[in-house]
Amino acid sequence: MTCARLVQHYRGLTWADVRGMALRDFNALVEQMAEDIEERERAEGRSSRGRSGGERRTPVMT
């Protein structure tokens, strides 16, 4: 499963590349992919903060 995610994440990477890779190189790519995904999720979280699912909120007068 991790191999499939790597090939999907890195567009120029092929199955043959992944299979021929040294373990340390494979692990380094997996770590980099995880960092990329975390950064993208953080960026998406910041952009969608305040609105969940497009819900519009109006202030309530008390």
Its pTM stands at 0.65
Q: What is the pLDDT of residues 1-45, one digit of tens each?
A: 788 899 999 989 999 999 999 999 999 999 999 999 999 998 888
3-state secondary structure 1-57: CHHHHHHHHCCCCCHHHHHCCCHHHHHHHHHHHHHHHHHHHHHHHHHHCCCCCCCCC
Query: CA separation (Å) from 27 to 1, 19, 43?
Result: 14, 13, 24
